[in-house]
Amino acid sequence: MIDLAQLRREPELVTAALARRGVSSETVASLIQSDKRHRELMQEAETLRARVKDLSRQVGEARKNKETERGDALAEESKQLGVQEREASARAEELGAEVRELHLQIPNIPADQAPDGLSEEENVELRQWWPGMDDGQPFPTYADHQRVAHWDIGTELGILDLESGARLAGSMFPLYRADGSRLLRALTQFALDAHADAYEEIRPPSVALTETMMSTGHLPKSQDDMYAVERDGLWLIPTAEVPLTSMNRGEILTEEQLPLRLTAATQCFRREAGAAGRDTRGLLRVHEFEKVELFAYCTPDQAEAAQMDILTRAETLLRRLGLPYRVLDLCTGDLGSASARTFDLEVYTPGVDRWLEVSSVSWFRDYQARRANVRYRTESGTALVHTVNGSGLAWARIWAALVETYRQADGTVVLPEALAPYMAGGATLRRR
């Protein structure tokens, strides 16, 4: 959540900043007005409560002094004020819930450095990389045998079985087989090993409580994209960001603990609401996928370096895999609601001739920490931590890029050398 104290103190500045994301001034004004009225009602209830307390004292004194008539009059006045106090408290509570609902819907204030824009078409490409680029070689050209979609390659080699996945769980739940399964496992271990120098590995649950989902901003904003286990009041996690953000919910860290870096490999579940008929073939957009996440709690001064570290690690993995990629600086209108600044990594896949997002590296300021109430001690008291996270990496589209990019003329797939130590069955994928 944004800082309500800042909104009260600098309403024009916050309104202008949120306008960069397309948030209307009327929406912000509604929150300001509701918050003001809520605080007025709370003050009114508190004043009445104090008056009732004082009258109760006077009633006691009057009756002690046998001033029956005065005591009865004071008691009647106390009774009437008590009714008013309860009504004011009820109205304050009702309006407080309205303020919280409005507050939860307001997105984060974008970073000054985030480019302005209202849609993904206005994202800014910062750079591209491909094998040989540093030696002056042009962007790769691809042979006809590499211009085959991964779903056809997977079926031909018997490593991707979309029909069985759909039969078991419905469309967009892929089933991997044999070397296809081993490749996923290899990618996960490859990434975890690469991050083990600085990130503590966590194995969180695959389900989360509602308050855990609220902490990251996935609820209530993206409820339609989440899978709910309604009987138990749980949600399937859409990313390890959800449990990692709440690892220290309600706690106070020491400044010496920061930055606190965590990584986790998990299954991720997303309904992809509204995606029907769009990018739904093969592994372009799926309901369940595997991902290695990188996460950090940090101070405001550490946030930029923490974000750059995650971005660099994700880029390094792509370079080791030899996959051409580009880095996008997301414009304000394309940022996730909780993000202040995000860099996307997209790989090029020759079989579908597309750039596919495989990582989003985001800085959230204290937006998530305010929801999760994660603080750290400073010389003057406590302050909210900043959170940073990014994929390192998401495997469904990486899997697709690898089998398309490294397909050979004979139909086999020869994986990059970096994965060879992790492929017990060999680095060449062929039908067995």
Known catalytic residues are: 270, 285, 357, 360, 397
Report how far residue 396's alpha carbon sits from residue 373's, in angstroms, rounded to the nearest whole number: 33
Establish whether the linkage from the previous residue to 259 is cis, with ω within 30° of 0.
Answer: yes
Query: Which residue type does 391 have?
Result: S
Q: What is the 3-state secondary structure (H, E, C) of the chain?
A: CCCHHHHHHCHHHHHHHHHCCCCCHHHHHHHHHHHHHHHHHHHHHHHHHHHHHHHHHHHHHHHHCCCHHHHHHHHHHHHHHHHHHHHHHHHHHHHHHHHHHHHHHCCCCCCCCCCCCCCHHHCEEEEEECCCHHHCCCCCCCCHHHCCCHHHHHHHHCCECHHHHHHHHCCCCCCECCHHHHHHHHHHHHHHHHHCCCCEEECCCCEEEHHHHHHHCCCCCCHHHCEEEHHHCEEECCCCHHHHHCCCCCCEECHHHCCEEEEEEEEEECCCCCCCCCCCCCCCCCCEEEEEEEEEEECHHHHHHHHHHHHHHHHHHHHHHCCCEEEEECCHHHCCCCCCEEEEEEEEECCCCEEEEEEEEEECCCHHHHHHCCEEEECCEEEECEEEEEEEEEHHHHHHHHHHHCECCCCCEECCHHHHHHCCCCCEECCC
Distance CA 11, CA 357 (A): 36
User: How many Cβ atoms are within 10 Å of 129's Cβ, its own excluded?
Assistant: 15
How crowded is residue 80: how many other Cβ atoms within 10 Å of its Cβ?
12
Encoded amino acid at 5, one letter: A
